[in-house]
Each structure stands twice: as structure tokens, then as C-alpha cells.
Structure 1
């Protein structure tokens, strides 16, 4: 039997190279986010730069609904824990949830190599806690790519969230999440992430026990790189052996850059799944 060819892990995690005009998406996100921020600011429904920690990037924006408040949704952005994205690029993703009466918090966080991935996990816990102090009611979490990893971490027994916040969480939707971080140690990006075997294991949701009774939908675009399909299936498969509710969705026709667009539409199934509608 011929030997199996070694996996090119850098290629496995290279998303935009496989998306037509993929590198145009960041500018598109920024433009759509800026327009939505201006709209919400004009209506007095945007609270900007709420501090949740001491780092200059420990800030979040909070978008308020136009009618009665039903709860809090939080979106955590991606970028492999190191790319220079922040909260200002994702504001438009709040549109779907606020139409259903949810406030939406979108945090920035400090990036590698200034901090470690485990530090970012703690920061996201602090951001959620800060947002929860502003908004009463149930909490629903979504995150994309590295952000998907971070919200999945909030669902584990080693979550940095305290019990009061955990008890308010109704739904977690990791989108295109990295559930097992060990392959990243074999990529060039690890020169920035500085993952070692211990941290990779302790920060991998698929290698951790989920909280009891947590409700998780692992979401991924059907047209994404095979590694992201594998990682999504892995999380759902392993966590289905615990006392929690978990399923997986492969959204037809979506790739890594446009899989988040459903959050803009109040009637899209991604928004409805996040909000348990």
C-alpha cells in the first residue's frame, strides 16, 4: 500500500486563496459595518468602546434594539487570533439579532503574539461578562473561525465565565470554528501563535468536556476548506457523547468568508438558530 502523502497544514487553513475574489471581503465588511454603525449612531442605539479590561483593545460596542429588550447576543470575530481585525469590521452582523429585540455586543481583543491564545480566551470571558452587566436576560453567543473557537471555549467546563453568566447562556453557535488546535502547531502561523502541546490541548474545545445541558449548533459553509468541515464535524461528534444538546449544520453554497452573512438577515436560519427562534 502506498504511503499517505503528508498534509500541508498551511494549505489546509488557507481560506481566502480558495475563495473567488476572497481578498476583497475585508473591504466589503468594513464598508457594510461603517454604514450600519452610522445608522445606529444616528438613532442613539450604539454604545461604543465600553471597556472590559486594561489592554487598549479590550473594548466592545453594544448595539441596542429599537423595541423591547429580549436579551443579549455576542459576536466574536476571527482572524486566527492574530490578524488585525477588530470590532469595527463586524457591526453589520448585529442587524439580524437586533431586529428580534436582542442587544448585540461585539468585542475586540488583544492579539498574538502580544498575548497567548489562552489569554484571549480569558479576555472574551471578560467581554461577555461586561456586556452582560449592561443587558439583562438570556445570553446567546456566536463567533466565526477563531471567534468560533472562542465561543465554543465558553461552553466547556474550563470556561472563564462565572456560574451566574453560564446559567444565563441559552445558545452557542460556533461558526467555522477550530475545535482542535493541535494541527496549528504545524503551520507557519505558529511562529506568531506560539502554541505548544499543553496549550493546544487545554484550549481545544473538542478535547474538553462541555458543560451539562449547554445547547450548541456548530455551523459551517458546505463550500469551506475540508479542514473546517472536519473540525466542525469533530466538535459535534465528540460533544454528542456528553449530556448536552449539540448538532451541526453545513450551509449549502457558503464558503469561509460569506458563511457569516446570515447574521445580517433577521429571517435567515443562522440568525434564528442563534436566537432559538
Structure 2
């Protein structure tokens, strides 16, 4: 079957294709606030660090999405629950949003936050993120982003509904805010870059997502496999762009893939 995009704005528009989409962000914020009331985090830079009650087994990093333009760690604190319950320290890094920051700036800021958390959290590091955060999670394991000592501890990278190729976004109206140009797309698209060796990568995406997100997930898994990385692409049946992250809240195949 031919796959052709004629409306790039619609290709990356999730809300109009998800029943009750407007209700998700306020529910996220409410659940996140309730979780912080129960498990107050340590404030780090613009983000949050949650520590388990016993000695930590490792560091899990979740990077939020919102097309690099919306949200903050305060909207997603509850997604730390699953890893925290398993005894992992959890970092939710924040970053300056577009248009104040370009995507290249955000990459540097998130890398600094991950490196700082790695200094205070021992053990393996598991990276994940959602949508634009999936892009940033993948970006963290590209060559030259994280210090070698930090990168050597990474045992898994799981971009969820990640954006590995920024070039199509240049065709959307949101690029008036993001300001991606050809040079930045080439420099900041994980699918066009080389991953560090030895890090298993799972591109995780909902089966009910927009075709572009499924294509992007397959693209990075296939491209990086061609560069020698151990990759997989999991299409989570029945999940859409807004509920595909819920597996991080509890034991689930998603959390198992990230922390196993």
C-alpha cells in the first residue's frame, strides 16, 4: 500500500484523532501533583529527582514531550511510579521550551541534567521519553552527546512515540515556533546520526497512533539496526499517543523492556 502525506499538520496532530483528548493534560497534571504529595521529589535544575526508599538499583530517566513547546516535569511526575516501586531512582529533566530555546539547545540542557543525575545515582541508566522526549532520549545515545563515563552505564533506550527524523516537521505550521532548518534537522535527527555501540534500543509506539509516528518509530529502529545497534520496534496494540505512556506507572511490558 502506498503511504503518502498530503497534510503535514494533520500527520503530526494527535488530539483531533483521540477521543476525549482535551481531558488528558489536566488528568496528567492532577495525577502528577497527587504523586508528588505522596512522594516529594528533590528539585534539580528545571526537573525532579525521585529517590527510592532503599538503595537504588539504577537511574531511570523520563523526558517529557509536547513538541519541545509544551509541558514540564510537573505534568508527568506520576510516570515515575513504576520504576520507583522497583527501586530505581527516577529523573524527570526539565528544559527551556521553544521558541526561547532551539532543539539543539534543549539537547545540550537535557544531556547536562542526565550527567548531573548520574553523578548522584549509582548503577545502570535506563533512558526513555515520549514524543519529543522520545527524540531527546534517542539523542542522548548518539555519539558525542553524553560523557563517555555516563554513556557506558546506559543499559536501555526506549523512545516512546519518538520523533527520530525532524525533516518532516519543517513542513508543519509549528515550525514557525520550532525554527528547524536543514542544518539543525541534519544535526539533531537521531535517525540521521550514529548511536553509541552496545546500547539496546526499543522504539515503542501505540498501534492506534498517527501513521507518521509508527513510521518514525520503524525508521529509527531499522536505520540504527543497519548501523549495528540491537534494535526492536514494538507496536503496542490498542494504544494511542496519549495513553501509550501509562505502562510506566506500574509493572508492564513497557517497564520491563526499559528496566529488565
TM-score w.r.t. length of structure 1: 0.91
Task: Indicate if the aligned counterparts of 2:5 and 2:11 stay in contact, CA closer than 8 A.
Answer: no
Q: Rg bigger for which structure?
A: 1
Query: Aligned partners of 1:259, 1:230: CA distance in 2, in Å?
Result: 16
Inter-partner Cα distance in structure 2 for 1:155 and 1:193? 22
SS in 2 for 1:171: strand
Runs of at least 4 residues off by over 4 Å: none
Structure 1 equivalent of residue 44 of structure 2: 50
Q: Partners in 2 of 1:172 and 1:227 — Cα distance?
A: 21
Shift of 1:18: 0.4
| 8 Å Cα contact 2:134/2:162 also seen in 1 | yes
Shift of 1:69: 1.2
CA distance in 2 between counterparts of 1:94 and 1:232 reads: 23
Q: What is the distance in 2 between the residues matched to 1:149 and 1:140?
A: 15
5 Å-filtered alignment, 1:140-155, equals 140-155=126-141
The residue number in structure 1 matching 2:52 is 65
Distance 1:6 1:97, change over 3 A: closer
Aligned length: 258
List runs of 5+ in structure 1 lacking aligned partners: 52-58
Cα offsets for 1:176-225 (capped at 9, x unmatched)? 00111001101000000011011011111111111111111100000000
Q: Is the 8 A contact 1:113 1:193 kept in 2?
A: yes
Q: Which residue matches 1:16?
A: 15
- What is the root-mean-square deviation in Å for CA atoms of aligned residues? 1.2
Match of 2:109 among 104, 107, 123: 123
User: How big is the shift at 1:5?
Assistant: 7.1
Structure 1 residues 8-42: Cα deviation after superposition (integer angstroms, max 9, x where no partner): 1000000011000001100000111111100013x
1:66 to 1:13, Cα distance in 2 relative to 1, 3 A: same
Q: Say whether the 8 Å CA contact 1:138–1:170 is kept in structure 2.
A: yes
Match of 1:163 in 2: 148
Matched, 1:102 2:96: no
Query: d(CA) in 2 for partners of 1:101 and 1:68?
Result: 7
Task: Write the distance in 1 (CA, Å) between the matches of 2:241 and 2:57.
Answer: 30
